[in-house]
Chain A
Amino acid sequence: MSKIGVFICHCGENISATVDCARVAQAAAEMEGVAYATDYKYMCSEPGQQLIRQAIREHNLDGVVVGSCSPRMHEPTFRRACAEAGLNPYLCEIANLREHCSWVHEKGEATTQKAIDIVQGLVEKVRRNQPLTPIRVPVTKKALVIGGGIAGIQAALDIANCGHRVILVEKEPSIGGHMAQLSETFPTLDCSQCILTPRMVEVAQHPNITLYTYAEVESVEGFIGNFKATIRLKAKSVDEKKCTGCGLCTTKCPNKKIPGEFNEGLGTRTAIYVPFPQAVPNKPVIDKEHCNYYQKGKCRVCEKFCPTGAITFDQPDQFITEEVGAIVVTTGFRVLPTSFFPEYGYGRYKDVITGIQFERLASASGPTMGEIRRPSDGTVPKKVVFIACCGSRDPAKGIPYCSKICCMYTAKHAMLYQHKVHDGESTVFYMDIRAGGKNYEEFVRRAIEEDKVNYVRGRVARVYERADGKLVVRGVDTLLGAQQVEIEADMVVLATAGVANPGAEELAQKLHISYDPYHFFAEAHPKLRPVETNTAGIYLAGACQAPKDIPETVATASGAAAKVVSLLSQDDLVREPLVAVVNRCAPPVYSTCVGCFLCQTACPYQAIEREEIKDRQGRVIKTVAKVNPGLCQGCGTCVSFCRSKAIDIQGYSNEQMYAEVNALLNHE
């Protein structure tokens, strides 16, 4: 026989104005299982709480229902009061007599009756409540950051500076990402490398950061606070300990005509190479696909010239595992190549380039030393057309979203071009100019007004090469009565859409995080949890979520780092015990779960695992589902899906809900 205490609050007059609180308490006193019932003016006040604590002690209560305001308001308050009196806080339930009753109904019999019903429902529920203890999950105080662009660098440094250890994994031979490729940055036109490279060096030298370049995450197991990541260290064919980074090998390599990734195919590199002069680490790797020795079995020139004997052709890929408590995904994005656009020549015209290629042309460290020259013949283009929204905002291309950064970088490109080629003429075709951001609009106006960039509002239908080799850009000027315009151009720069990296989907599956239809990783909540994923302990930053500019990328990276640090600063993770549980019972059944595992897809958090029940000899008797309390968020979708009712959820159990529903209706 339970001993429930019912405490009806008047909330000043907020409840008592329309509900007869004394009568509710009276009715409650007569309910089955209720040992004590009373009403009071302000239950949440200190005397009110004292009243509850005292009643718990005096009447030995094993459950409490407080009829007051919404549980969303004072549930924590009253549960704490119960705990202080020695009652398990999860044995306290709140009957919402204010928001759901007194405030929404007129004074009268029906209103008081409804209040009694609500109390009755919760009395029946609380009689079936179980004492619960918060879940404690131990935390490994180390973070994994995947991707060494500016987002990864920022997140790694922020976490490391708080005294936690960080593993930074980058798939390319150097960290730096897209930001290292950029010339100047909008809206200040400061040099990208000048602000980035000091941070890259800081990463390399930070005692708390372990950097793995030319490495990829192979698999991730575990859950918040307790991940185990396997990382593939791709063979660099260069012994990093022996290599001094002198660079002699790269000058001797006979294979010199390989289109370089860093220069977006506009420059060349050798088979043994350092991606760019300021690379971190500044030590070469051998690109096996282009290396004569790996492909044809002959050469080994680099080995011959290496003064320290650092070349190791037989080095295999290595696998290491790292235990970490949190993961930050900062894998970035890529821009569509020109070959995506049939209407702009499918990448056939050499002088139709992407924005990122233009960055390389404009960069002092680029293939032309910062001079704007045509890829086809190296001449300085006198007429350049920039086309914004190439692919972006075009549902027909499968990219209905705005790539966000193009308006700004196109303005910057046109501006840089005008600064470098004084007699040049530049035209920008645009849909809208989206320059929301600090000093952004002013920047675009400067391009238009001071640098005389010709902005044409309209779409480009086609770029084609005339038989004489001249590029023709055919578009429309919607501000001139939708007039067709044809512009001859020496070079065309496409602001191609920012899209998810190839392999994003695969990585998401490895990490069990969700992604949107465009394969950008999905936030747990677009507004309130913008750097978290649905998988607890895994965070996002930068352009792997959606195209982002540098300030936004850095902001999200620091945000994700703050989340990681707050997690790693705890020894144990304490979570609400309102989680699903798969039942266990006596042999020979062990659990009424039959192991169909159809529930696994019902769980949005991958919290349902397989557990093998073994006999003493270690033979598997049964494989059943098990809910990982570290991952479960307590939605209960699995509970209502389970056919044999083998899963139940603490705090909202089948018994509790059934009893509450019945009790609400159980009167004449």
Chain B
Amino acid sequence: MDENKAAFEPRIIAFVCNWCTYAGADLTGTSRIKYATNVEIVRFPCTGRIDFMLLLKAFAAGADGIIVSGCHPNDCHYTSGNFHARRRWIVFRGLLDFLGIDVRRIHYYWVSAAEGAKWAEVVNQTVAEIRELGPYTEYKKVANYIEETEAAHE
């Protein structure tokens, strides 16, 4: 990997459901599979609980990338939370793309409680791809209200 790219360590937030992906990530741990440190996990009861606003807030707070992951279709602990989430993401993603928000920075996965190895792959792959994309400067720029106003004055 070239030196400059390696210098950038992306900040990534993972929104995961408690029953599948959180448990899957636990299994990665118990299996002692190593992965990149860039991802911080937030635990939700279900992907159905993940508010699209929280994704936007993560970007606003400085995330360079986001992982959303839950139970595979038909495996939801609450039977249909992931189906509701899937619909929400289909619509949301289309809207973000139309607005020019970089949808390549939001990665969606199904990771079950048995897929410890997959979780490590998911993290490493996402980190690599976001590293390739570089920091999400354009979003950070509008997120910073003060800098933005100052820029306008100049």
Contact = CB atoms under 8 A, between A and B. Distances in A.
B105 interface: no
Contact of B45 (A106, A111, A634): A634
A72 B19 CA distance: 10
Interface stretch (A133-141, A289-297, A649-657): A649-657
A641 B29 contact: no
A604 B79 contact: yes
Given A633-B78, A665-B63, A99 B40 contact: no
B49 A637 contact: yes
B51 A665 contact: no
A114 B58 contact: no
A110 interface: yes
Nearest to B55: A661
B144 to A, nearest CB: 14
A524 B46 CA distance: 16
Contacts of B34: 104-106
Interface in B34-55: 34-35, 37, 40-46, 48-52, 54
A636 B49 contact: yes
A637 B46 contact: yes
B153 interface: no
Interface in A62-111: 70-72, 96, 98-100, 103-106, 110-111
A103 B62 CA distance: 26
Q: Is the interface of A mostly helix, strand, loop or mixed?
A: helix
A486 to B, nearest CB: 44
B120 interface: yes
A639 interface: yes
Nearest to A638: B48
Interface residues of B, number: 43
A661 B49 contact: no
Nearest to B119: A104
A661 B58 contact: yes
Interface string B42-86: 111110111110100110011100000000000001111100110
A637 B84 contact: yes
Contacts of B28: 99, 103-104
Nearest to A534: B79
B54 A658 contact: yes
Given A637-B48, A657-B51, A657-B54, A104 B84 contact: no
A635 B29 contact: no
A423 B93 CA distance: 72
B106 interface: no
Nearest to B30: A99
Indicate the member of B22, B25, B62, B78 with the most A CB atoms within 10 Å.
B78
B13 A661 contact: yes
Given A99-B28, A635-B81, A637-B48, A114 B40 contact: yes
B30 A103 contact: yes
B33 interface: yes
Q: Is the interface of B mostly helix, strand, loop or mixed?
A: mixed
A72 B42 contact: no
A508 to B, nearest CB: 14
B88 interface: yes
A657 B57 CA distance: 11
A652 B26 contact: no
A524 B37 CA distance: 37
Contact of A604 (B25, B54, B81): B81
A602 B48 CA distance: 9
Given A635-B45, A649-B49, A640 B88 contact: yes
Given A72-B23, A635-B48, A637-B81, A657 B42 contact: yes
Interface in A545-598: 578
Contacts of A654: 51
A93 to B, nearest CB: 10
B44 A652 contact: yes
B131 to A, nearest CB: 14
Contacts of B52: 640
Contacts of B42: 121, 657, 660-661, 664
B108 to A, nearest CB: 15
A636 B46 contact: yes
Contacts of B63: 665
A419 to B, nearest CB: 45
Contacts of A649: 45, 49
A311 interface: no
Contacts of B13: 661, 664-665
Contacts of A121: 40, 42
B13 to A, nearest CB: 6
Nearest to B40: A664
Given A104-B29, A105-B34, A636-B46, A661 B41 contact: no
Contacts of B26: 70, 72, 96, 99-100
Given A99-B28, A657-B42, A640 B49 contact: yes
A102 to B, nearest CB: 8
20 contacts: A96-B41, A99-B29, A100-B25, A100-B26, A104-B28, A104-B29, A111-B37, A113-B37, A602-B48, A635-B78, A636-B44, A636-B48, A637-B85, A652-B45, A657-B51, A661-B13, A661-B57, A661-B58, A662-B61, A666-B61
Given A99-B29, A635-B78, 12 more contacts: A70-B26, A104-B35, A105-B37, A578-B45, A604-B81, A634-B45, A635-B48, A635-B77, A635-B81, A652-B45, A654-B51, A665-B40
Interface of B: 9, 11, 13, 22-23, 25-30, 32-35, 37, 40-46, 48-52, 54, 57-58, 61-63, 77-81, 84-85, 88, 120
Question: What 8 pairs across the A-B complex have the smallest Cβ distances?
Answer: A99-B29, A636-B49, A637-B48, A635-B78, A103-B29, A640-B51, A665-B61, A635-B46
